[in-house]
Amino acid sequence: MSGSAARLGSKDRLTFSKSWERYKYIYLLLLPGVIYLIIFKYLPMYGLIIAFQEFTIFSGVFQSAWAGLENFSRMMSSRMFWQAFWNTIRISVLRLIFVFPAPVLFSLLLNELPFKRFRRFTQTISYLPHFISWIIIAGILDVFVNPGNGVIMLAIQKIGLAPPNVISSNTWFVPMLIVTDIYKTMGYSAIVYLAAISSIDPGLYEAAIIDGASRFRLVWHITLPSILPVICIMFIFNIGSIMEGGFNQIFVLYNPLVYRTADIIDTFIYRMGILTADYSLGAAAQFFKSIIGMLLVIGSNYGVRLFKQSGLW
Amino acid sequence: MRQFFEKRIRPGLLFDIFNVMFFIILSIVFLAPFIHILMYSVSDISHYSTAGLFLLPRGFDPAIYEALLLKGIRIPNALLTSLFVAISGTFLGVLISSMLAYAITKPFKGRGVLVVLIFFTMMFSGGMVPTWLVVRGLGLLDSRCALVLPGMVTGFYVFILRNFIQMLPEGLEESVLIDGGSYLTVFFKIVLPLSKPVIATVALMTAVGYWNDYFSSIIYLFDTQKWPLATLIRDLINRSQLSVMEGGVVVGLDVNRLDNVKIKSATMVISMIPVLIAYPFAQKYFERGMIIGAIKG
């Protein structure tokens, strides 16, 4: 961003007609993109005003009656909404605690593997699940933990224990989200850490080995500090998406029995705004979420910039 | 560091042994689910037990694939829809995004505003409900185009493409312009061909996103015959507790002696095939995608 702003400076005083004459083909090239952005990005943003209306599909955005903050007060007094709000935050924080460190640990251990071929092979399979749809992951999960004939459940039965119904138990659902999330994202997220590790100056290791450092100390004093900036930046970016909660994953797995622990803001918006056609309430929840989400993203981008300036990068 | 280690007897042999064992187990855990559904789908389950993990086929009976792909109509239809959505969405999305990305490297009047407007779409979104209303307003409800359009261009990919295009040498462009070529010539003859690596990355990520998308068809389509494969699989999973007949209905087959798990497994295998075929070739681009995404994001 900063580079382009600097280059812009000198030609900033171009008049529009001159600019048109010189760049008409450039305007032509950006036309489809601009039309697209207006229709599919900015029109929906404008559409959020239905959060302040008593919107009905028959009167449309322009003729629906204004409702002030009525939809927001309905939302604020809805127990379901606050449940979804706190579930979103709880699930996101749990992901930061358990899912976030997994690829760091994975890449540190992988880097210590002695055989290059094996290292490459393991890494290759580890990020295969990233490219498989959550639908398939849910289908596989069903094949394994289905209470009727799941592979793992039958095995638990064989030992003589009562298998839990993972999909519809409020105790097991969130841990199941965490485990499947690690399964799906660990290998792929590790790529960026592995790239950071491979750019460490080998001279550092050689010097430390000559000084008699053990392998653990090499990891602790060289590898980890070298990739710490990347870890911090990834962490700050992750904080920026706390309001997300992982819609695509939860939507394929959840059911009314686990709303108490698994219903997040996005699934709430879907059920209110689309399924029960309470468009204004859905838009109110979306507005709330988008505003907080934007503040978090701006905050985290600012945090990353501060961090980069702090000299640790 | 590795070569350095590999030349001498490694300190911490015990750690190595455990580490190697850990990664062997991890690899098995990562692969076993996929192997299981593949092997289950080709096993002869009328003669063998269906219990336990299938790491090898028990008997051999791939008739299910013939039934799903040749006798039934729903899976072939869903495959065609998935292919249509992924190909058209990727083609149009990458074309429009790279046109936009190239354009914003030029200092035309209004560029600053446009860049800010594109950037803003990455931070604030109208979200599901207003987007649905826009799609409805365009008369696209219940049309396959509704699966393609809403997610076609994203600010994130535009900036990834822009960052790459900015790095291209300017001399080539200038020589085309001096020879009387226009910016259109520059874009199609120079920028597009030279940007192949980043375009491949963006295209692959976009295509995988389309291929795996099940949610758009849930909100935009009423006619279940128009569903792509991913959504069909979701329906199969949700009905997993129901009878075999139900599973047969979902995939459009008249079945009496087929196991529901087998229908489900085979359908999942079919839907993974394109990704698995592309995987070895696309790996380099996938990895690059992660790194640019993480650092520039």
User: Does residue A114 sit in the same domain as residue A194?
Assistant: yes
pLDDT attached to residue B223: 92
What is the Cα–Cα distance from B240 to B218, expressed in whole angstroms?
19
Q: Which of B100, B275, B283 comes nearest A132 by C-beta?
A: B275
pLDDT attached to residue B209: 93
A45 contacts in chain B (CB < 8 Å): 124-126, 130
The answer to whether residue A136 is domain-embedded is: yes
Q: How confident is the model at residue A10 (pLDDT cuts 50, 70, 90)?
A: very low
The CATH number for A181's domain is 1.10.3720.10
Q: How confident is the model at residue A57 (pLDDT cuts 50, 70, 90)?
A: confident
User: Does residue A93 sit in the same domain as residue A183?
Assistant: yes
Mean pLDDT of A243-253: 92
The answer to whether residue A2 is domain-embedded is: no
User: Does residue A61 sit in the same domain as residue A90?
Assistant: no
The nearest CA of chain A is from the CA of B261 a distance in Å of: 7
Lowest mean per-residue pLDDT among A15-19, A208-212, A219-223: A15-19
User: Does residue A36 sit in the same domain as residue A135?
Assistant: no
Q: Which residues of chain B have pLDDT under 50?
A: 7, 9, 256, 297
User: Does residue A27 sit in the same domain as residue A119?
Assistant: no
Q: Which of A12, A40, A214 comes nearest B134 by C-beta?
A: A40
* Res A47 pLDDT > 50: yes
> Which of B84, B87, B91, B74 minimizes the C-alpha distance to B270?
B74
- For chain A, how many structural domains are there in total? 2
The residue from A66, A93, A125 where one domain ends is A66
Q: Which of A48, A61, A133 comes nearest B214 by C-beta?
A: A133
Residues 59-78 in A contacting B (C-alpha not used; CB under 8 Å): 61
User: Does residue A146 sit in the same domain as residue A281?
Assistant: yes
The answer to whether residue A75 is domain-embedded is: no
A235 touches B at CB < 8 Å: no
The answer to whether residue A271 is domain-embedded is: yes
Share of chain B above pLDDT 90, in %: 53
Using the structure block, give the residue that is written with the tokens 């803003």: B120
**Average pLDDT along chain A:** 88
The nearest CA of chain A is from the CA of B24 a distance in Å of: 8
The answer to whether residue A73 is domain-embedded is: no
User: Does residue A174 sit in the same domain as residue A293?
Assistant: yes
- The domain containing residue A296 runs over which residues? 80-309
pLDDT attached to residue A1: 37
Distances (CA, A) of B191 to B90, B94, B95, B162: 18, 13, 12, 11
The answer to whether residue A72 is domain-embedded is: no
pLDDT attached to residue A5: 42
B109/A30 Cβ within 8 A: no
B40 contacts in chain A (CB < 8 Å): 143
A215/B4 Cβ within 8 A: no
For residues A229 and A313, the model is more confident at A229
The nearest CA of chain A is from the CA of B297 a distance in Å of: 9
| B153-179 pLDDT per residue, tens | 999 999 999 999 998 988 888 899 999
The answer to whether residue A232 is domain-embedded is: yes
- DSSP track, chain B: -HHHHHTSPPS-HHHHHHHHHHHHHHHHHHHHHHHHHHHHHTS-TTTS---S--SS-SS--THHHHIIIII-SHHHHHHHHHHHHHHHHHHHHHHHHHHHHHHTTS--TTHHHHHHHHHHHHH----HHHHHHHHHHTT-TTSTHHHHSTTS--HHHHHHHHHHHHTS-HHHHHHHHHTT--HHHIIIIIIHHHTHHHHHHHHHHHHHHHHH--HHHHHH---GGG--HHHHHHHHHHTTTS-HHHHHHHHT---SS--HHHHHHHHHHHHHHHHHHHHHHHHHHHHHHHHHHHHH-
Using the structure block, give the residue that is written with the tokens 């976009």: B206
pLDDT attached to residue A236: 86
For residues B140 and A16, the model is more confident at B140
pLDDT attached to residue A2: 39
User: Does residue A37 sit in the same domain as residue A144?
Assistant: no
| B211-252 pLDDT per residue, tens | 999 999 999 999 989 999 999 998 888 775 555 555 666 666
Lowest mean per-residue pLDDT among A107-111, A304-308, B199-203, B207-211: A304-308
The residue of A7, A10, A17, A25 whose CB has the most chain B CBs within 10 angstroms, and thus the best one to mutate to test that interface, is A25
First to last CA, chain B: 30
User: Does residue A104 sit in the same domain as residue A141?
Assistant: yes
Per the CB < 8 A criterion, the answer to whether B213 and B206 are in contact is no
User: Does residue A109 sit in the same domain as residue A219?
Assistant: yes
The nearest CA of chain A is from the CA of B53 a distance in Å of: 6
The residue from A66, A100, A125 where one domain ends is A66
Q: At what angle do helices A151-159 and A134-145 cross, to 10 degrees?
A: 20
| A69-96 pLDDT per residue, tens | 999 999 999 999 999 999 999 999 999 9
Mean pLDDT of A203-225: 90
Chain A, nearest residue to B2 by Cα? A114
The residue of A132, A144, A165, A222 whose CB has the most chain B CBs within 10 angstroms, and thus the best one to mutate to test that interface, is A132
User: Does residue A89 sit in the same domain as residue A44?
Assistant: no
The answer to whether residue A7 is domain-embedded is: no
pLDDT attached to residue A158: 82
A140 touches B at CB < 8 Å: yes
Distances (CA, A) of A214 to A107, A217, B1, B21: 19, 5, 13, 21
| A162-197 pLDDT per residue, tens | 778 888 889 999 999 999 999 999 999 999 999 999
> Could you report the predicted ipTM of this complex, rounded to two decimals?
0.87
User: Does residue A148 sit in the same domain as residue A209?
Assistant: yes
Domains of chain B: 1-61 (no CATH), 64-297 (1.10.3720.10)
Chain B, nearest residue to A24 by Cα? B183
pLDDT attached to residue A179: 95
